Structure 1
Amino acid sequence: MFGRAIYYTVLIIAAGAFLVIFGPVIMLSIGIGGRSDMEDATPLNNDDPIAEEVSIATPVWALRPSCEINSRPPNARIHAVTLYKGGIETPAQAFGTPARQVNVIVTDKSGPVFLLLSARNAVIWNIRMAPKVVLGGIVTTGFDRQTVVTRGARVPMLAAAVADKQCSNVFRRGMNMGMLDAVSADEIAQMSTQAFGRVPDNLVDKHSLESIVLGPEEDAAQLPAEAEPFVVPDFLVDQHRPILFGRPALARLVSEGILAQATEADLASWRAAGPLSPNLPSYIVNLDLARTYVIKRPFRLPLGLVGEASAAFIQPAGMKQPDGWVGENAFLKYSPFGCAAARIWNGNCDKKDFGDFESVGTTFKSQ
């Protein structure tokens, strides 16, 4: 009996240690939780919110992943890219780690081309193809989600990053501490051999980059120059109107009657509805009402609500929480405990989850 008690005690301690070490990572990988970047826990951009002066009219179609790629011709060319993070700053921060964009220009016409794209952080892979390039399939792997945009080209894509949980295959990394690193060149070679029977014909192994040409450099000149500073995947935004980011997007939602600027009376009403809430944290006591809104109708959270562009939303009883990434924003619910649990481990009622949230509201950059 005594031995059994010791056994169960050790088992409980081991389980607790596992949750402490791997819990946040597991929650991120299965799609629960907000920003959980182990590289940099500070807000993405405190002083200069990204792209508030930019309006992009058309979202770019992103590939929808599948769990297999059937066609693997023997004359196929295999190009592999592995990074820690991308290089082009973007406000599309609807991921666990800070997303950055990489432009991938494919000019290899020597046979059907297969791409093996990997990164530790979230990357938006912007694929552009020279005329007569045949792209047979794309495999994405690594830690956080990898999004591929192709401007309408329908290419089979196998999503096998840790955070893309729908498929189990040789490209998906095991859930251990090693998954927090970038995929090494040796891992890429092993994955390629398991899947295609040989190592990649070309391997690019970098910490970060903005653009890469896969094939003859001179053929890249056939492609028109990019008209926009970055791409926005279609599934991250409302598609029926031009895209705005950060505070200008919130101002538009107010003008449309979807949000209303919060008042002291709104805040008092929320406080009265949460009699079981703990002591109010400092950011609620000194809440900047210029950055606080009452939700009037369901909506999708705009991109770019990070750092000084983050906001608080009072969510009336029965109102649906907005779609989209919670990130550094607060949701003040009409519930006994008052606060929304944006992050499964820390909650989002802690001051540290916000970028300078008590600061005085500043003028929109776009004005």
Structure 2
Amino acid sequence: MSEKKLGFGLMRLPSLDPNDPGKIDIEQVKKMVDTFIERGFTYFDTAWMYCAFKSENAVKEALVSRHPRDSFTLTTKLHSSFVNSFEDRDRIFNEQMEKTGVTYFDYYLIHDINCHSIETYNKFDCFGWIRDKKEKGLVKHIGFSFHDGPELLDEVLTAHPEFEFVQLQLNYLDWESAGVQSRKCYEVAEKHGVPVFVMEPVKGGTLANVPEEVTKLFKDYNPEASVPSWAIRFAASLPNVKIVLSGMSDMDQLLDNTSYMQDFKPLNDEEKALIKKATDIINASIDIPCTGCSYCTDGCPMQIAIPKYFSLYNADMQELRGRGISPDEGWTPQSEYYENVAKHFGKASACIQCGQCEGVCPQHLPIIEYLQTVAKHFERE
């Protein structure tokens, strides 16, 4: 395992064309990679489909062909969307080795296990397949990334004790989120004795673009610390977290992240209290002021997971605003969580407007109207 807790996520690389992530600014990436390694960091994370399927090629050009193999660790992943046969597993893996130019991967992940994708992974025995890659020395450490609830995570880790780590979406805004449930998932991993690698610590940029009140809160305490540093340090301060990935898309972000993570100091009690305060301020500006009490769900004839959907909608709107993009642009994790929850519960659009939920809501929210908003947002297709 890497000594330093910061990992370089190669999903949002600098691009020569803002409308085409595949047109990577490779010269800029080379400088960033060199600086990252010079500052003592070693962990690089890519995947088959990142940067319009060009991220792994960039790894070869900027990292593998220019630095000794023992000076870095490299991670990539197998995603269920591209596995439609037993043959696809090796075809993708072999192409990943060719694209990156390595003879082994330090870490390899089954990508994005959730209640949908696990059917594909079981159907094509991807769990046995990845164990075989490790036995042959083609992969040093095996793990999986996860976008679902703590119950499924517990099932997967119980059924597959061979996994050496799990990658979770974890940040201070999702820590107590009813939709993402970062804390509960973290605690499941901890229970199984499995280290956590963190993705989305800044929540796609949401926690870099916080309300002015939060910025002032952080700057009054430490004028030198950047706003995103609070989010990354929150994740890195958790004792069972081994790596915090940051998708760095320019040199300024890399210089900032490496500056405070070179000699990492966990949050003190005062800083933890400030983050709790910041979370409350951010949540106070949310679109649907649901407290997650779940009174509404007990008598719902359509079994709609109302508080979970509201939580995911709020999180999605915060992320979209934080990233400055419209709902029609790009993928967000919340849309996937929505589909995962909807597999077990009624979708927001299933509401028959019986009013049972509104009759018991302590906040007196217009739940029927909010469900229509959520359905329109997450069920666009």
For Structure 1 versus Structure 2, the TM-score category normalised by the shorter chain is under 0.3
Scaled by the length of structure 2, the TM-score of the pair is 0.23
Structure with the greater alpha carbon radius of gyration:
1
Report the structure, 1 or 2, having the larger helix content. Answer: 2
Report the structure, 1 or 2, having the larger strand content. Answer: 1
